[in-house]
């Protein structure tokens, strides 16, 4: 983030506040305050939205009579459109060129409290202040500048723990419950029908190669699982379709016969049904991992760059196994290849038998 950008936005907010003075700047929040109109920002990736659902649930419990507006991204639309959690949903791409449209919509909502759970600074603060919100709370990340903290009534401090708990702890200043870390699905979807066969999901794609277990490793795992009677279900978005081709090229005829390819064939809500019907999902650090956790589907998740104690499964720990590569040689493009298929297989079969 350019310091000059933050500086100029700070100047703009100072001028606005001089004339409008709607924000209760520097005023402390406390549990006695009541709010009727609350805006929540969650404008980043699908996994981030899932991490935010415990905090959103805590806010809903704390203010049961309030109207809630969500600011989210188009990529999250299938998970929030029509949700009973929110009275209004506004979609924003985190770009300054579209701030004016968002601000105009938010002004009509007349927010009293804005809770920024995950968005991009400095434009989220710009929109929150110019929308006329009286109070602003923000979950600050390490990459965020502290120069605009004076425009926030409360913000998170450095925390060596899970992101979900950090967000819940932040909301304790409002009197919110902080002990329920359960992620939830905001929209209705069809539950999977009962299936007596053992189905193991493979999510092979991820946002970057460092988060991907090599396709050859997935094939090795499939060899072991199908020999024991398990069926394989390949899931993912359209961009993961080349991985399905690679998988089938490496797979034997017997493995291919016991593999169902759903990559690029499901909507996000249909994917929820698929994951709900799995016995175990094997995946890197991806959005479908967090959907599976929320759906109480067991997972074996593989980590290289991120710390699972901060961003891995936080609820129902007995359902989830995380494997992490700690010492990554600099020349390896896919460090997860250091995790052996035999190790993953042991954990998958143990979870599938529960």
Report the predicted TM-score, pTM, of the whole model to 2 decimal places.
Answer: 0.95
The total number of residues written for the chain in this structure: 354
Tens-binned pLDDT, residue by residue, of the chain (354 aa) = 567 788 899 999 999 888 888 889 889 998 999 999 999 999 999 999 999 999 999 999 999 999 999 999 999 999 999 999 999 999 999 999 999 999 999 999 999 999 999 999 999 999 999 999 999 999 999 888 889 999 999 999 889 999 999 999 999 999 999 999 999 999 999 999 988 889 999 999 998 888 999 999 999 999 999 999 999 999 999 999 999 999 999 999 999 999 999 999 999 999 999 999 999 999 999 999 999 999 999 999 999 978 999 999 999 999 999 999 987 777 788 899 999 999 999 999 999 998
List pLDDT tens digits, range 286-339.
Answer: 999 999 999 999 999 999 978 999 999 999 999 999 999 987 777 788 899 999
Collect all residues with Cβ–Cβ distance below 8 Å to 41 and sequence separation of at least 6: 70, 71, 72, 114, 115, 116, 117, 118, 119, 124, 128
Q: Which pLDDT belongs to residue 266? A: 96
What residues does CATH 3.40.50.2000 cover in the chain? 18-174, 199-352
Collect all residues with Cβ–Cβ distance below 8 Å to 187 and sequence separation of at least 6: 78, 79, 80, 81, 82, 83, 269
Collect all residues with Cβ–Cβ distance below 8 Å to 104 and sequence separation of at least 6: none
CATH topology of domain 199-352: Rossmann fold (3.40.50)
- For residue 159, how many C-alpha atoms fall within 13 Å in the half-sphere facing its CB? 19
Q: Which pLDDT belongs to residue 1? A: 57
Q: Which pLDDT belongs to residue 215? A: 97
CATH topology of domain 18-174: Rossmann fold (3.40.50)
Q: Which pLDDT belongs to residue 333? A: 82
What sign does the CA torsion over 111, 113, 118, 123 have? positive
Q: Which pLDDT belongs to residue 7? A: 87
Q: Which pLDDT belongs to residue 323? A: 97
């Amino acid at each position: 983030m350019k310091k000059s950008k933050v500086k100029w936005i700070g100047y703009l907010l100072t001028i606005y506040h001089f004339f409008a003075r709607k924000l209760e700047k520097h005023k402390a929040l406390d549990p006695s305050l009541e709010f009727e109109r609350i805006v929540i920002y969650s404008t980043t990736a699908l996994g981030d939205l899932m991490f935010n659902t415990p905090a959103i649930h805590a806010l809903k419990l704390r203010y049961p009579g309030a109207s809630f507006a969500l600011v989210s991204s188009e990529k999250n639309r299938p998970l929030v459109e029509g949700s009973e959690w929110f009275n209004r949903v506004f979609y924003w791409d985190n770009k300054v060129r579209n701030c004016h449209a968002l601000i105009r919509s938010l002004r009509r909502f007349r927010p009293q409290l804005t809770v920024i759970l995950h968005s991009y600074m400095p434009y989220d603060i710009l929109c929150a202040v110019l929308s006329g919100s009286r109070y602003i709370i923000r979950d600050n990340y390490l990459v965020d500048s502290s120069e605009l903290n004076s425009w926030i009534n409360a913000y998170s401090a450095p925390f060596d723990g899970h992101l979900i708990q950090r967000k819940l702890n932040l909301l304790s200043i409002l009197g919110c419950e902080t002990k329920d870390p359960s992620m939830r699905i905001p929209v209705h979807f069809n539950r999977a029908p009962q299936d007596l066969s053992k189905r193991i999901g493979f999510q092979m794609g991820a946002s970057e190669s460092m988060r991907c277990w090599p396709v050859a490793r997935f094939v090795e795992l499939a060899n072991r699982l199908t020999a024991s009677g398990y069926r394989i279900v390949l899931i993912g978005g359209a961009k993961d379709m080349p991985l399905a081709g690679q998988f089938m090229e490496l797979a034997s005829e017997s493995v291919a016969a016991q593999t169902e390819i759903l990559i690029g064939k499901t909507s996000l809500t249909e994917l929820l049904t698929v994951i709900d019907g799995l016995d175990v999902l094997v995946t890197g650090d991806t959005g479908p991992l967090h959907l599976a956790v929320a759906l109480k589907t067991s997972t074996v998740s593989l980590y290289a760059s991120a710390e699972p104690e901060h961003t891995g499964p936080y609820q129902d720990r007995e359902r989830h196994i995380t494997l992490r590569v700690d010492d990554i040689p600099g020349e390896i493009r896919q460090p997860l290849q250091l995790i052996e298929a035999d190790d993953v297989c042991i954990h998958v079969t143990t979870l599938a038998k529960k």
